[in-house]
């Protein structure tokens, strides 16, 4: 009985040792993992040094950053110059500063031109950045698609700016004509410093007519250079001076 019991115990231990035995492929995998972990732990510092050496060997590229405050100041200054030059070409500065409608219209035009100029400058900056990416080796087709889209957007902004310039010219030209018509419709106030006397023979004699003629002459709109003076008007003027 004792011998049989010992034999069965030995068989059980042998079976347990066979069950705990690690396969060769698994054992090889564990060894490779241990080697990789050892290489990583000892080679991190060498990798960092290699990265620093590579950075020093590669050509450094300076960052092309946009100063948005400077671009905004540039847009505001140029828009004010553009709008003022167009407005003063068709209207007197006194009209622009004295009439609220014209004054507020010039403010709105300056805001519109400033926004168009700012958008054009930012689109140019984005195009330049994409061109630098392409020169740096980014040859992905999507990069070229975005570049073409930005170039189309910039051309649309330039077209809108040119169209708005024409619209502003027409608006201020119409304002000049409307102002002239408005002033001609208003009653003319004339100082009554002349006298009309009845001669008793069906004729009247006027004194102080020269001042009246000068006042009427100032009230008449500007005559075109090609217009010829009316002979009847000249005769009436001379007759009025004689009556004085």
pLDDT by residue for the chain (244 residues), tens digit each? 445 545 555 555 555 555 556 677 777 888 888 877 777 766 666 666 666 666 665 555 566 788 999 999 999 999 999 999 999 999 998 888 889 999 999 999 999 999 999 999 999 999 999 999 898 888 899 999 999 999 999 999 999 999 999 999 999 999 999 888 888 766 545 455 545 455 555 554 555 556 656 665 665 555 444 444 454 544 554 444 444 4
Residue 163 sits in the same domain as residue 85? yes
Residue 133 sits in the same domain as residue 179? yes
Is residue 15 a part of any domain in this protein? yes
Is residue 39 a part of any domain in this protein? yes
Q: Are 96 and 103 in contact (CB under 8 A)?
A: yes
Helix 141-185 to helix 68-90 angle (10° resolution) is 30
Q: Are 149 and 156 in contact (CB under 8 A)?
A: no
DSSP three-state, residue 206: strand
What is the tens place of the pLDDT at every residue in 66-97? 899 999 999 999 999 999 999 999 999 888 88
- Domain encompassing residue 237: 195-221+230-243
Residue 72 sits in the same domain as residue 139? yes
Residue 20 sits in the same domain as residue 75? no
Residue 123 sits in the same domain as residue 202? no
Is residue 29 a part of any domain in this protein? yes
Of 240, 174, 178, 165, nearest to 209 by C-alpha is 240
Going 146 to 149 to 151 to 156, the CA torsion angle's sign is negative
Residue 6 sits in the same domain as residue 113? no
Residue 137 sits in the same domain as residue 200? no
Residue 123 sits in the same domain as residue 28? no
- Neighbouring CB atoms inside 10 A of 118's CB total 18
Residue 128 sits in the same domain as residue 207? no
Number of independent structural domains in the chain: 3
Residue 31 sits in the same domain as residue 119? no
Residue 140 sits in the same domain as residue 76? yes
Residue 51 sits in the same domain as residue 102? no
Last residue of a domain, one of 35, 57, 79: 57
Q: Is the pTM of this model over 0.85?
A: no
What pLDDT is attached to residue 226?
45
């Amino acid at each position: 009985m004792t011998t049989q019991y010992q034999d069965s115990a030995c068989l059980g231990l042998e079976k347990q040792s066979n069950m705990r035995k690690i396969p060769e492929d698994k054992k090889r995998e564990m060894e490779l993992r241990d080697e990789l972990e050892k290489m990583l732990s000892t080679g991190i510092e060498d990798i960092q040094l290699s990265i620093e050496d590579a950075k020093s060997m590669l050509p450094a590229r300076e960052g092309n950053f946009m100063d948005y405050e400077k671009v905004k100041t540039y847009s505001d200054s140029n828009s004010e110059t553009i709008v003022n030059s167009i407005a003063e070409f068709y209207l007197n500065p006194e009209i622009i500063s004295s009439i609220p409608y014209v004054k507020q219209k010039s403010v709105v035009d300056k805001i519109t031109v400033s926004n168009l100029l700012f958008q054009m400058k930012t689109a140019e900056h984005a195009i330049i950045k994409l061109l630098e990416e392409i020169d740096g080796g980014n040859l992905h087709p999507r990069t070229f698609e975005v570049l073409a889209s930005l170039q189309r957007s910039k051309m649309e902004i330039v077209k809108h700016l040119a169209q708005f310039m024409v619209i502003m010219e027409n608006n201020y030209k119409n304002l000049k004509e409307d102002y002239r018509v408005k002033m001609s419709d208003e009653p003319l106030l004339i100082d009554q410093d002349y006298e009309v006397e009845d001669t008793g023979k069906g004729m009247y004699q006027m004194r102080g007519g020269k001042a009246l003629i000068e006042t009427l002459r100032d009230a008449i709109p500007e005559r075109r250079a090609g217009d010829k003076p009316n002979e009847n008007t000249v005769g009436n003027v001379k007759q009025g001076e004689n009556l004085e």
